[in-house]
Amino acid sequence: MPLMLGENAKMALTTLRENKMRSFLTVLGVVIGITALISVASILVGLYQDVDNMLNDYGPNTLFVWRLSPGIQTGPPTAEERSRKTLSYDDVLAIRQFCPDVKLVTASLYPRVNFTGPQTPVNALYKDREVDGVDFSGNLVESEDVFNSRPEVGRFYSEAEDLHRSDVAVIGYDVAQGLFGPGNPLGKQITISGVPYEVIGVFGKRKGQFFKDPQADKEIDIPYRTYQKHYPADDENFIGAEAYPGRMAEAEDEITAVLRRQRKVPYDKPDNFGISSAQQIADQFRQITGSVALLIAVISSIGLLVGGVGVMNIMLMSVTQRTREIGVRKAIGARKRDIIWQFLTEAMVLTGSGGVIGVLCGVGISMLINALAPSLPSSVPLWAVFLGTGMSMSVGLFFGMYPAVKAARLDPVVALRYE
């Protein structure tokens, strides 16, 4: 059997070489379908890796709590969400006291979210240089551990600096590059809203490309109480809580119970705050992109169906053109299964060749995306290559079955008389 398949494959390749244009046009639908499959799989896998890197940057055991739902928003906030009161520092203290499965809890303080228009931009200045649109916030010292916000250069501020409301700051990678270039920023003073802050640390570049917050590397953190001193009207707290390993679900339940009690939510009313984790946000992203993947799979299937019909058509023509050849083979002892395998192998080689071309096109598109749009990650997974090739050969097997059986059923006497 292996020898026969090898001989059939050689015959099929010879047929392909003799009819290059006809063969290519026949499997064009297969090529398009497999190219679409490989291209979309590479983009989705790249995006999944990107979002995982970005979220894991904050720690696998971290819970995010806000008055809205943290994570991917599928629409504008409702009237009820916009009217919710902000989280407070008292909520942080309550979580710290009454949630035994929470290892650490922190809060980031921002200006209150403006739902009717854009936020007022915050700019950072150093001499004649300026970085606009920075992500400026006041943070408790636990943020270094909860949000994995450890400076790459210098240090994070201390509890004493927070209690004494010291004017110190830890700046993001892009802020450091924009204000100081290759120079050392430590010990220098930057100005934000007319207030000078001493730079004591610089964060490293955040992971993730496409889903990374554009302000992630334009972050400027100052002590929580320092922020309160300069901006007493700002009261938008974003809470982060780090659960003990293996206790995420318990920690989430405890935080939910504490905040419902703190915010006086009636037992028969839904939560008036949102809580999520890095894993939940990643799962939400996969759920959203799953529908896109399904749509592309349907489009790819249409291409494969069109290619399969073309293969069946060309194979039926081949049976008609090679009727005498089939008669000769049967007259000298070829069995039905030998004829069936001859035509099936030819159909599978034909569609398999189209699959290989589709895989190469998909890999090329992935490389082109990485070259022209580095922020859109693309990575061709090995399983997609095998899946694409296997699907293309399966199309040949399925759609080549009828022509192969038809050829095998020819009467050798009638076939030998055919002109």
User: Are the C-beta atoms of 3 and 341 separated by less than 8 Å?
Assistant: no
Q: What is the pLDDT of residues 103-145, one digit of tens each?
A: 999 999 999 887 776 677 889 999 889 999 899 999 999 999 8
The per-residue DSSP string of 218-229 comes to: GEEEEEHHHHHH
Residues 400/312, Cβ–Cβ less than 8 Å: yes
Measured CA to CA, the distance from residue 335 to residue 181 in angstroms comes to 78
* Tens-place pLDDT, residues 43-85: 888 777 777 776 667 777 889 998 887 666 656 777 887 888 8
Give residue 167's pLDDT. 95
Q: Say how far apart CA 52 and CA 208 lie, in whole Å.
A: 8
DSSP structural state of residue 409: T
What is the SS3 assignment for 73?
coil
Return the closest-CA partner of residue 319 out of 297, 289, 288, 346: 346
Question: Residue 364's beta-bridge partner residues?
Answer: none
SS (H, E, C) 302-327: HHHHHHHHHHHHHHHHHHHHCHHHHH
Contact in structure between 112 and 179 (CB atoms under 8 Å): no
Q: What integer pLDDT is reported at residue 254 of this predicted model?
A: 94
Q: How far apart are CA 356 and CA 35, in angstroms?
A: 9
Helices 401-408 & 336-372, crossing angle to 10 degrees?
A: 160
Dihedral, CA of residue 135, residue 137, residue 141 and residue 142, to nearest 10? -70
Tell me the residue type at 181.
Answer: G
- Reading the block at residue 144, the tokens are 């270094």
CB atoms closer than 10 angstroms to residue 257: 12
d(CA 391, CA 359): 11
pTM of the model: 0.69
> Residues of the chain whose pLDDT is less than 50?
1-3, 210-212
Q: Is the separation of the CB atoms in 173 and 18 below 8 Å?
A: no
pLDDT for the residue numbered 118: 67
Q: Is 148 left (phi over 0), alpha (psi -120 to 50) or beta?
A: left
